[in-house]
């Protein structure tokens, strides 16, 4: 099997409808509307990237991107509900109520500043890349061959610049250009490779995979805000368990979740809790249920939090004060790597602090506790702890039965507290 990185040629293969398997009924009408609008105005316009890849894999894409030779201001002139986004390179979001389609202008392959282009590098990483180009140049600067295909809606053809379709058929992920150079340009490409491997079951070509094992430290040069977004993409992909496995296998975990990595070295049982939580997250996504970034970080940082809380308790600090301080400190430490927004950090700390209240099963405050806005998240967290063996399974069963009971039975249970016997039918 060929494993070397692939470079694009100047002319694409044009693959007709009778040769590819794309079902155009899976293409959203908004994307079709934008492409047709650009074509009618005399511009080139194609679907590009992940949506074309997914269509070829028989997957209905969640997002559609459009690439064009129209410049950002020209795109905005064509579509009223549009907005310019970005500093490094401007793209356009065309809105349809709450949803939007991303439209980008063809970009040229990055060059160093001494060549006279507007591209700048810091420690080998692109920090400004604002050069418009041709479709051929746009394909050359993309990361993987399977993401460098364009779909021509007008002729129902796939434009393949670097044998991406062959890699799709072989379920192979290959870098365009030398992998080590491309990872230095943008270390996030390593995370993208592992996410595609986990989600799409693509085998990473040997020369694309090998540098990852020694280049994970480059993620320290990526902004914490961007790393947070990429972390959520990994664990809200619907394949969180696979993603976690890949992060460990390729030795990326210490650079993304250093405190989780350290906790696993000290307490291997913590892995059971993590996998139970990630399996739960995957199941929720598969079932169309909502997921909150705060929850997965609450799981990953749980051991760091409890260790710090124990230190505060040993110093005689009251639980309420110690819980908030331990939570705040733990989140701040992780935020230096993957910045966690305040709205998520508050939720994380509340999930942790509320764990103590599940041991109290008597009195009116029990029913009041169930009205807390973070009760459900804290309850789910507690049940995962029980599932992992950190708590007696009785805890989860008791609170599950309480929520399902009628008001009269609820009052009876909270009067009896822990003396209440759980029937075998639970």
Neighbours of 24 (CB within 10 A): 11
* Three-state secondary-structure class, residue 387: helix
Residue among 172, 152, 154, 155 nearest 163 (CA)? 172
Radius of gyration of the chain, Cα coordinates, nearest whole angstrom: 25
Could you tell me where the DSSP H helices lie in 158-301?
Answer: 164-169, 179-185, 188-200, 206-209, 212-215, 224-235, 240-249, 253-256, 258-266, 270-286, 293-300
Q: Which of 325, 380, 330 is nearest to 358 (CA)?
A: 380
Structure tokens at 15: 């693959």
63 is catalytic: yes
Quote the CA–CA distance of 190 and 180 in Å, as a whole number.
10
d(CA 34, CA 115): 35
User: What is the DSSP code string of 128-180?
Assistant: E---B--HHHHHHTSSBGGGSEEEETTTTEEEESSSHHHHHHTTEE-BBS-HH
Length of the chain: 426
Active site residue 143: yes
Short-list 233, 231, 357, 249, CA closest to 301: 231
Distance of CA 423 to the CA centre of its chain: 41
Q: Is residue 65 among the annotated active site residues?
A: yes
- Cα(354)–Cα(109) distance, integer angstroms: 51
d(CA 265, CA 252): 15
CA distance 375 to 381: 10
Q: Which of 65, 69, 129, 180 is catalytic?
A: 65
Among candidate residues 54, 138, 143, 152, the one labeled active-site is 143
Catalytic residues: 63, 65, 143
């Amino acid at each position: 099997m060929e494993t070397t990185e692939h470079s694009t040629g100047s002319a694409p293969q044009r693959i007709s409808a009778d040769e590819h398997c794309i079902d155009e009924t899976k293409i959203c009408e908004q994307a079709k509307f934008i492409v047709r609008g650009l074509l009618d105005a005399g511009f080139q316009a194609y679907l590009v990237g992940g949506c074309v890849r997914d269509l070829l894999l028989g997957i209905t894409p969640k997002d559609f991107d459009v690439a064009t030779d129209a410049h950002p201001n020209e795109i905005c002139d064509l579509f009223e509900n549009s907005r310019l986004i970005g500093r490094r390179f401007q793209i356009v979001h065309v809105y349809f109520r709450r949803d939007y389609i991303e439209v980008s202008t063809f970009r040229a392959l990055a060059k160093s500043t001494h060549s006279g282009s507007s591209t700048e590098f810091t420690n080998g990483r692109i920090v400004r890349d604002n050069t418009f180009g041709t479709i051929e140049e746009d394909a050359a600067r993309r990361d993987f061959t399977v993401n460098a295909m364009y779909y021509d809606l007008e002729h129902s053809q796939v434009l393949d610049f670097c044998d991406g379709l062959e890699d799709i058929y072989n379920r192979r992920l290959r870098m365009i250009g030398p992998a080590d150079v491309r990872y230095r340009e943008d270390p996030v490409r390593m995370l993208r490779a592992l996410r595609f491997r986990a989600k799409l079951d693509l085998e990473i070509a040997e020369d694309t995979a090998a540098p990852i094992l020694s280049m994970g430290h480059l993620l320290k040069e990526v902004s914490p805000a961007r790393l947070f977004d990429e972390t959520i993409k990994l664990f809200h992909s619907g394949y969180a368990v696979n993603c976690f496995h890949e992060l460990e296998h390729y030795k990326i975990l210490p650079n993304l979740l250093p405190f989780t990595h350290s906790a696993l070295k000290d307490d291997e049982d913590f892995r059971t809790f993590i996998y139970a939580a990630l399996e739960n997250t995957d199941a929720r996504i598969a079932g169309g249920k909502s997921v909150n970034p705060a929850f997965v970080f609450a799981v990953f940082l749980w051991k760091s939090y409890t260790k710090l809380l124990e230190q505060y308790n040993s110093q005689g600090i009251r639980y309420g004060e110690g819980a908030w301080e331990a939570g705040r400190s733990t989140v701040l430490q992780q935020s230096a790597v993957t910045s966690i927004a305040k709205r998520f950090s508050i939720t994380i700390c509340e999930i942790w602090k509320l764990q103590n209240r599940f041991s109290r099963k008597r009195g009116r405050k029990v029913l009041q506790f169930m009205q807390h806005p973070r009760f459900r998240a804290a309850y789910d967290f507690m049940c995962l702890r029980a599932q992992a063996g950190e708590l007696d399974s009785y805890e989860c069963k008791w609170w599950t039965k309480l929520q399902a009971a009628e008001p009269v039975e609820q009052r009876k249970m909270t009067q009896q507290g822990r003396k209440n016997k759980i029937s075998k039918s639970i």
